[in-house]
């Protein structure tokens, strides 16, 4: 199973999700979020961000060698582009050329580009084009972010974009199957992401520099920097009345409120209303460019700024459609505690989407690790598999070697047993040979190696035999073994000779050994068996000691006669003058 982490480095906090991709689907194992300490300017120092990333990775306890990272869309150049080609290969080949006129403050060589196909468009009679959502990252920005990740031991396999990761989670959760025409809005601390989706495909994505933190900062300024009072006022406004609606009588209602806390809540409602109004205006600008088609049927909300119920009411009133929480955890299985699950559901959409990309779930298909930023440490991706394969190979070789060694030991034991039997047989003969025959060869000391010991005994017997036969003339020859081919050849020649003299003959079987043979034939006339018998006797009288024809019987087919000829072989005798007893050597 593939285990991966997804990293979302936001303006307020770093989020890390650990996802395990198995045959039953992706599973969220852990989610960690670490906020940075912010300076008085409201921004986090680079050292604080780096420490936050390091702590989030430590808390998540995920594999650093298998990571995905999502860049914020506000750090990219995002443009909608139409190219006059429908073929995907031509679109990719001309993308940089077509996009170059849309760059105003940099050269095309200074950016890394990827694109999402959002649909097709008719450009004229019989001419089709392709509509694209192009995402371009400045190389310096991308390099700086990758260098920052390297300082904490991360070299991500993929560099995604947060809007693409949001789309990945929305598609994987099943939300787009239920509402293929919808909006996905992620309200973060400093930015709001808006995705317009048509027919289940991402058409438009925008990153709006408005976030819930901005509303809180504005409220703190009105409270003269009292952040605790601003936070309390926002909570009171969320619980006491609608954050998205002004009081019915306008400012006059504020003037008649007697409680200071109610005044603070009313101010918070006004600030929040202004914030939501600007978010909705900017989001509405996304819709006209998203193309024609059916209207949206739902708005999905996620992010920390989308927690208030009044925000849902205001958005529902504005678009006239239901507003639902994006089911982020519907994209993955999990066994998190309720508090961890709630945190992951509201804040972890981008991190989970980036992790899903690493384990093979990628509905947007965006990756900015290209050109000189292409992932090159391929070994890190396969080193676990290589280590496992090497371990298995080691054990395989070890077991094979152990088996071979045990077999070798068994052969050695059996060989030594055979050598002992040979020595028992050779010993008395060799003793007589060495004591009674002048100039006899001495048997050498037995070698430790079994194979060498066999060779020694063979060579010794050859030398002894050569000495007896060639030098002393005392060796006895071993009678040759008669071959079964001799009677088979004689029978074949006899039957071939009779082929034209016998009307019908069929050889059903033949069986020979060194002492006897049997031939079974089928004939039309049993009297013709005498011809075969006579031919066999005449053929080779020195081969057959006796040839008999057994009583004929009716064959299996009830038409022919079956005759069996039995032959006894002549024994091959030793040459005359040979004797086992040694003779005196000739003088």
> Mapping DSSP to helix (H, G, I), strand (E, B) and coil, where does residue 161 land?
strand
H or E stretch including 158? strand 158-161
pLDDT the model gives residue 381 = 59
The answer, yes or no, to whether residue 448 has pLDDT greater than 70, is yes
Judged on CB neighbours under 10 Å (0-12, 13-18, 19+), 249 is exposed
Looking at per-residue confidence, does 555 or 262 come out higher? 555
Name residue 547's beta-bridge partners: 567
User: What percentage of the chain reaches a pLDDT higher than 70?
Assistant: 82
Distance from C-alpha of 133 to C-alpha of 115, rounded to nearest angstrom: 5
User: What whole-number distance in Å separates Cα of residue 1 and Cα of residue 21?
Assistant: 6
pLDDT per residue over 244-256, tens digit each? 344 444 444 444 4
pLDDT over 90 (residue 280): no
**What residue ranges in 165-209 does DSSP mark as E strands?**
182-187, 192-198, 201-208
d(CA 127, CA 147): 45
DSSP 440: P
**Beta-strand pair 298-302/323-325:** parallel
CB atoms within 10 A of CB 379: 9
Cα–Cα distance for residue pair 262/237, rounded to 1 Å: 8
As given in the structure block, the two tokens for residue 241 are 């009345």
* Tally of CB atoms within 10 A around 335: 9
Report the alpha-carbon distance of residue 585 to residue 516 in Å, rounded. 41
Lowest mean pLDDT among 124-133, 207-216, 259-268, 541-550: 259-268
Q: Which is it for strands 111-124 and 127-138: parallel, antiparallel or unpaired?
A: antiparallel
> CA-CA distance, 580 to 18, in Å (whole number)?
92
What does DSSP say about strands 544-549 and 201-208: parallel, antiparallel, or unpaired?
A: unpaired
Residue 191 structure tokens:
């930015």
For residue 42, give both structure tokens: 């409201």
Query: How far apart are alpha carbons 161 and 142 in whole angstroms?
Result: 11
Cα–Cα distances (Å) from 251 to 220, 234, 257, in that order, read 20, 18, 10
Q: 283 or 378, which is more confident?
A: 283
CA pair distance 107, 138, nearest whole angstrom: 10
Token readout for 293 is: 């088609």
Lowest-pLDDT range, 220-234, 292-306, 373-387?
220-234
How many other CB atoms sit within 10 Å of the CB of residue 271? 24
The string of pLDDT tens digits covering residues 526-538 is: 888 888 888 888 8
Are 62 and 156 in contact by the 8 Å Cβ rule? The answer is no
Picking from 29-43, 228-242, 321-335, 539-553, which range would have the lowest pLDDT averaged per residue?
A: 228-242
Contact 113, 102 (CB under 8 A): no
Which residue in the block uniquely carries the two structure tokens 């199973």?
1
CA 163 to chain centre: 29
Say how far apart CA 321 and CA 79 lie, in whole Å: 27
Cα–Cα distance between 34 and 53 in angstroms, integer? 8
SS3 assignment, position 453: helix
* 48-72 mean pLDDT: 93
What is the residue-wise DSSP string for 46-61? Answer: HHHHHHHHHHHHHHHT
408 vs 257, 393, 404, 456, 567, CA distance in Å?
101, 22, 6, 20, 47
Among residues 27, 23, 134, 24, which one has the least CA distance to residue 83? 134
Question: Which pLDDT does position 472 carry in this prediction?
Answer: 64
Look up residue 417 and give its two tokens. 């047993």
Beta bridge partners of 438: none
Bridge-partner residues for 70, per DSSP?
8, 160
Superfamily of domain 485-569: General secretion pathway protein M, EpsM (3.30.1360.100)
Burial of 247 (C-beta count, 10 Å sphere; 0-12/13-18/19+): middle
CATH topology for 179-326 is: Nucleotidyltransferase; domain 5 (3.30.420)
Cα(555)–Cα(373) distance, integer angstroms = 90
Tokens 């939501």 correspond to 276
Q: How far apart are CA 518 and CA 520, in angstroms?
A: 7
Closest Cα to residue 152, out of 38, 59, 23, 271? 59
Other CB atoms within 10 Å distance of the CB of residue 402: 10
Q: Using 50, 70 and 90 to split pLDDT, how confident is the model at 387?
A: confident
| pTM, 2 dp | 0.61
SS3 501: coil
- Residue 294, pLDDT above cutoff 60: no
Q: Among 171-185, 218-232, 252-266, 445-459, name the most confident range.
A: 171-185
For residue 316 the two structure tokens come to: 């529902």
Q: In what order do the strands lie in the sheet with 76-83?
A: 76-83, 127-138, 111-124
pLDDT exceeds cutoff 90 at 405: yes
Dihedral pair phi/psi, residue 210, rounded to 5°: -135, 130
Q: Which residues contact 531 (CB under 8 A, 6 or more apart)?
A: 498, 501, 502
Per-residue model confidence (pLDDT) at position 68: 95
Full DSSP string of 225-236? T-HHHHHHHHHH
As a whole number of angstroms, the distance between CA 334 and CA 336 comes to: 6
Phi first, then psi: give them for residue 510, nearest 5 degrees: -140, 140
């Amino acid at each position: 199973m593939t285990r991966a982490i997804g990293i979302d480095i936001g303006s307020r906090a770093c989020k890390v999700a650990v996802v395990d991709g198995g045959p039953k689907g992706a599973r969220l194992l852990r989610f960690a979020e670490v906020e940075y300490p912010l300076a008085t300017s409201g921004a986090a120092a680079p050292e604080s961000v780096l420490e936050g990333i390091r702590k989030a990775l430590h808390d998540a306890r995920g594999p650093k060698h298998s990571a995905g990272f999502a860049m914020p869309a506000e750090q990219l150049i995002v443009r909608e582009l139409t190219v006059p080609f429908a073929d995907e290969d031509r679109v990719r080949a001309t993308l940089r050329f077509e996009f170059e006129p849309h760059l105003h403050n940099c050269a095309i060589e200074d950016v890394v580009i990827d694109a999402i196909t959002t649909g097709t468009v008719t450009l004229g009679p019989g001419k089709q084009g392709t509509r694209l959502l192009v995402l371009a990252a400045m190389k310096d920005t991308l390099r700086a972010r990758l260098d920052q990740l390297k300082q904490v031991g991360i070299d991500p396999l993929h560099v995604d974009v947060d809007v693409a990761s949001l789309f990945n989670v929305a598609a994987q959760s099943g939300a787009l199957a239920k509402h293929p025409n919808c909006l996905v809005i992620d309200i973060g601390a400093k930015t709001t992401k808006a995705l317009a989706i048509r027919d289940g495909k991402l058409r438009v994505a925008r990153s709006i520099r408005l976030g819930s933190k901005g509303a809180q900062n504005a409220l703190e300024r009105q409270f003269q920097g009292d952040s605790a009072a601003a936070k309390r006022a926002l909570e009171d406004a969320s619980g006491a009345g609608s954050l998205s609606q002004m009081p019915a009588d306008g400012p006059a209602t504020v003037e008649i409120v007697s409680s200071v806390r109610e005044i603070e809540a009313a101010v918070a409602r006004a600030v929040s209303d202004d914030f939501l109004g600007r978010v909705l205006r900017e989001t509405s600008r996304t819709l006209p460019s998203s193309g024609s088609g059916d209207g949206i049927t739902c708005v999905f909300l996620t992010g920390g700024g989308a927690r208030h119920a009044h925000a849902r009411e205001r958005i529902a009133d504005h678009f006239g459609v239901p507003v639902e929480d994006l089911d982020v955890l519907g994209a993955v299985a999990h066994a998190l505690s309720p508090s961890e699950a709630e945190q992951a559901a509201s804040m972890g959409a981008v991190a989970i989407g980036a992790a899903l990309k690493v384990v093979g779930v990628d509905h947007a298909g965006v990756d900015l690790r290209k050109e000189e930023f292409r992932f090159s440490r391929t070994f890190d991706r396969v080193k676990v598999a290589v280590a496992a394969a090497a371990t298995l190979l080691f054990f395989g070789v070890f077991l094979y070697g152990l088996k071979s060694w045990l077999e070798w030991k068994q052969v050695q034991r059996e060989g030594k047993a055979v050598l002992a039997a040979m020595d028992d047989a050779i010993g008395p003969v060799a003793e007589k040979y060495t004591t009674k025959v002048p100039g006899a060869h001495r048997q050498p000391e037995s070698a430790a190696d079994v194979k060498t010991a066999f060779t020694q005994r063979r060579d010794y017997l050859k030398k002894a035999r050569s000495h007896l036969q060639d030098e002393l003339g005392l060796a006895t020859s071993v009678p040759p073994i008669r071959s079964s081919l001799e009677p088979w050849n004689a029978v074949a020649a006899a039957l071939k000779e009779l082929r034209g003299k016998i009307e019908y003959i069929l050889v059903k079987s033949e069986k020979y050994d060194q002492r006897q043979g049997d031939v079974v034939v089928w004939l039309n006339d049993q009297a013709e068996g005498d011809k075969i018998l006579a031919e066999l006797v005449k053929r080779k009288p020195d081969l057959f000691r006796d040839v008999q024809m057994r009583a004929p019987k009716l064959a299996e087919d009830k038409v022919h006669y079956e005759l069996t000829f039995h032959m006894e072989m002549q024994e091959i005798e030793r040459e005359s003058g040979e004797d086992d007893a040694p003779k005196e050597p000739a003088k």
